[in-house]
Every structure is written in structure tokens, then in C-alpha cells.
Chains A and B, each alone.
Chain A
């Protein structure tokens, strides 16, 4: 796409673009290239000198069982959150799409958690499910489960999934509702005239027509779980107990900060960048196909 009419001249446009360019280069390209460069270096214990070690940091990374564990943790965490938040919000959106009285009020009441910071969401949920003082821990203990997310890795992961899902429902709900409202009513009416009941209509007409939205949300949710849940994890579990909730991003942070292993941390950053670029590329290819369809 191009504009037909333009202003001429060079200096003005260059001046206009300089602030963004400067910030992008200083705070984006420079650190990103530093991360790549650092991933090939190894610093000595005091951080005084560093030597070029080729792919050694990467090799070392893939020899660590903890790295595979972080990968598995990330995979489990993101698939659970993506599944539950998509399912819950789709259910809520289909209900809100029916012409109910007070529709706008439901929407408002469901979307505001978007504004809650992930770390705050984590704090709210740890308070609710705190092993000794949590309001909801008592009923869990009453049915005989020794609930303690501070000591039990599975309990910690459950709590993380719950809080991350809670936080993400509002976002998915908004997009699903918009997607549902874009489906022409005539298509649904036609299916109804052919004798399809509400469930059948949903699975054979509405759900397929909604698939571009669902796919888009799937990618966004995975990226969300990868990066934005850092605050939730740090607030709820701090990667523990015993590393059971350390995701890939959390490990970049913990290794660089607590362990001081900058080369290894940089190598992990580079792998994460590759994952994000791959996800974005998939999304863009799909979006292009969506335009034709």
C-alpha cells in the first residue's frame, strides 16, 4: 500500500524518524546483538575477563537435565493455560452472545481482570490458596488433600495454572465475543431451518467459522504464558518448590541473576528469541491465508 500524494524533502522525515530509530537501536538491537555475542563467550568467576568459546554454552545448556525440565514445565504450563483459558472464555462468550438482558454489564464484569498485573494476580491467588490462612484451602483440606503449594510441586503448578488462566480469560473472551458477533446470523438461521439443534450448530457451523480467531488466540496465549507469566511465577512460587515451576523465561532470569552465569543465560535468551520468531512467523503465515479465506 502506498499513498498517492506525498511531501517532498529528506531532512524533515529523517528528523521525524530519528527518535524512534535511536531508541530502537540503543534499547533493542544493541542488547539483542549483545545477547547473541555473549552466548558465545564465557566469563570467569569474577566477571573480569571473558573468552570466546563457540557453541560451548549451548552444548552445556543441552547437557543440563534442569534445562529439559524447564522445557517440559513450560510446555505443560502453556498447554494447560492455553486450553483452559480458551475453553472457559469460549463458553462464556457463546453465552454472552445470546441476546440477554444486561449484555453490556456482563461484558464489563468479565473483562476487567485484563487490567490486573500478573504479579498482583499471583498475590491474590496465593492469598486465597495459602496453606494455612487461605479461605479456599480449608475445603480442600477437608476432603483429605494435604494441600501445600509451598512444598508440593504439583500443587504449585495447579495454583499457577489457575491464576494465569484467571488473568487471561478476559482477553480471550473479548476476542471470541467479537468473532462470534462477526458471524452472519443468516448462516446460523439456515442451519436451524435445516433442523440442527444448538449443540450441532455450534460444532458444525460456529466453531469452524471461529477457527481463525481461535488460532490467533492460541498463538497469543502461548506467547503470554512464555513471557507475561513471569510476574505470576515470581510472586506465587519463585520457581520452586525445588525448581518444579521454573519455566524457560524464569530460568533466564534466575541463572543470570542468582547464578551469575551470563553466557548460559544469554544462550537461553537466544533460544527463546528463536522460539518467539518461529511463533510469530507461523502466525503471520496463517493471517495471510485467513485473508484469502
Chain B
């Protein structure tokens, strides 16, 4: 700080506090709503302090589900978890291997291969949904985890991230390994992989959140309610015909849907920030 005026300090605290209130309030309201019964919410006079229905709402949502979504939320969470982990691990696996090939080997069409992968950086799945849907349908992958996961790992961010990291590793390490008689497999396993652990973890955090929060793709390719992810499930609990919406269950589900990715961000904040900043570079 250049100068330390009490007034500017005070304003800074005030602005931040206000910002935090705005950021937290919608979620606070959802948590409160998950502790009341339907009648209290529907009459529009929900108190801002917790009610006593939390146990009832959470156990009903987790093990029975809403009237409209028809599946227990615990099952939807399981589907979301499989999808998020599949996307995170799948992407890490294919991209660390291809980055290793592109950086540490000289082979024909290496540059071409790199560009073929690099171009995918530009186009999110949303612009090619129907053709992708058709291909997944033709391959018989509708309503499968493979169909949920595969099209979403077809992107270059991971490869670029690992390539960038590998370029910072000194050449001397490879030269030394070669003198010690290590082959490509040994070098990867004993030298490169241990060095890449932070990068892998950072990519994992980002991809887990990305996978857990997917919406359009699972909406299209899951038709069975047993394959539904939680983000889709909650949307189905809210209908335009208000009478059918069970807001207390919908809000309970919303809280459950936010929990895993938010915990990941809060407890792995350093990795999260690293992953976010470096995948965007």
C-alpha cells in the first residue's frame, strides 16, 4: 500500500463484504429452502432462518427423489460422479500420452498431428451437438457412460497443458536418463510422471468440475431416467406448471449438486487456481 487511509480501508472492507453477501445469498437461500416443508415455501413467506424439515427433505431426495424426476438423487449423484471422474481421468490419460509423443519423439507427421489436435481447442461441443449425437447413436452409445464421457474428452486443452509443462523440463534430464540406459517407458514412468504430478492434479480439478457440471450433452443422450445426472435431474424437478414443482426437494437437490465441485474448489484452491490459469493460457 502506498498510503494507508482509514477511510479507503473501510470502503474496501465494505465493498468486499457486500460482494460476498451477493455471491453467497442465492446459495444461502437454497440451503434454507432445503429445511422447510412445501407449504411454507409455496405461500411465499419463507423465513430466512433454518426450519426443521432438513432431515426429512434430504433423506427423501437422496433415497426416493422428487415426484417428477422419479429417481433417487443418490443415484443421479453416482451417475454424475462416474461421468466427472471418467472425463477427468480419460482426458488426463489420453493427453499426457499424446503430449509425451509430440514432445519427446521425432516421427513423421508430428507437426500435422499436433495441429489436428490443436484445432479442437476452438470448438466447444455445443456447436456440433446434433451430428455428434447422431454418431454416438449410430455407435450404439446412447444411455451409456462411454457415450456420456467420450465426446467431452475430445479436446486439446490437456495436451497443450502437458506439452507446455514438458517444454520447461530441462533436456539434461532426458540425456542423463539415456546415459543411464533408460528407455522411453522407464523415462516416462520414473522421471516424467513424478515431475508432472502437480500438473495432473490441477488438470484433474478443472476437468472434474467441468464434467460434473455438464448439461447440454447429458440432456441429449440420456433418455433412461436411471442414467440421469444430477444437473439434469434438478432441471426436471422444476416445471412451468408451478403446482407440480416440489421446491423443497428441488432446492435440496440443488444443494447436493453444488456440494462436490464446491468442496473441490475450496479444499484444493491452489491446484484449482493453477489449473484454471494454465489451461487458459
Q: Taking the nearest CB of chain A, how far is it from the CB of B199, in angstroms?
A: 17
Q: Taking the nearest CB of chain B, how far is it from the CB of A176, in angstroms?
A: 12
Q: A35-B131, A95-B12 are in contact. Are A124 and B174 (CB under 8 A)?
A: no
A285 within 8 A of B: no
Is B16's CB under 8 angstroms from A106's CB? yes
A258 within 8 A of B: no
Within 8 Å CB of A28, what residues of B?
Answer: 120, 123, 128, 154-155
Is A98's CB under 8 angstroms from B8's CB? yes
A-side interface mostly: helix
B68 within 8 A of A: no
Is A120's CB under 8 angstroms from B13's CB? no
Q: A5-B175, A166-B26 are in contact. Are A112 and B265 (CB under 8 A)?
A: yes
Within 8 Å CB of B204, what residues of A?
Answer: none
Contact of B106 among A6, A188, A192 (CB under 8 A): A6
B95 within 8 A of A: yes
Is B29's CB under 8 angstroms from A20's CB? no
Is A12's CB under 8 angstroms from B105's CB? yes
A108 within 8 A of B: yes
Q: Taking the nearest CB of chain B, how far is it from the CB of A174, in angstroms?
A: 6
Is B105's CB under 8 angstroms from A6's CB? yes
Chain B: CB-nearest residue to A232:
B215
B180 within 8 A of A: no
B63 within 8 A of A: no
Interface size on B, residues (CB 8 A): 106
Is A108's CB under 8 angstroms from B102's CB? no
Within 8 Å CB of B154, what residues of A?
Answer: 23-24, 26-28
Chain A: CB-nearest residue to B11:
A95
**Which of chain B's residues 81-110 have a Cβ closer than 8 Å to chain A?**
93-95, 97-98, 100-108, 110
Is A231's CB under 8 angstroms from B215's CB? yes
Is B16's CB under 8 angstroms from A92's CB? yes
Interface size on A, residues (CB 8 A): 101
B-side interface mostly: helix
Within 8 Å CB of A198, what residues of B?
Answer: 3, 8
Interface string of B25-53 (1 = CB under 8 A from A): 11101100100000001111010100000
Is B130's CB under 8 angstroms from A265's CB? yes
Contact of B135 among A24, A34, A133, A249 (CB under 8 A): A34
Residues of chain A at the chain B interface (Cβ within 8 Å): 1, 3-10, 12-14, 16-17, 19-21, 23-24, 26-32, 34-35, 38, 88, 91-92, 95-96, 98-100, 106-121, 123-128, 132-135, 137-138, 150, 166, 169-171, 174-175, 178, 188-189, 192, 198, 201, 216, 220, 223, 227, 230-231, 234-235, 238, 249, 252-253, 256-257, 262, 265-266, 269, 272-273, 276-277, 280
Residues of chain B at the chain A interface (Cβ within 8 Å): 1-3, 8-9, 11-13, 15-16, 19-20, 22-27, 29-30, 33, 41-44, 46, 48, 93-95, 97-98, 100-108, 110, 113, 116-117, 120-124, 126-132, 134-136, 150-151, 153-155, 159, 167, 171, 174-175, 178, 183-184, 187, 209, 212-216, 219-220, 231-232, 234-235, 238, 240, 242, 247, 250-251, 254, 257-258, 261-262, 264-266, 269, 272-273, 276-277, 280
16 additional A-B residue pairs with CB within 8 Å, beyond A13-B110, A116-B27, A198-B8: A7-B184, A8-B106, A38-B131, A92-B16, A95-B19, A98-B1, A99-B1, A114-B276, A125-B26, A135-B29, A135-B46, A171-B276, A192-B3, A216-B280, A249-B127, A266-B131
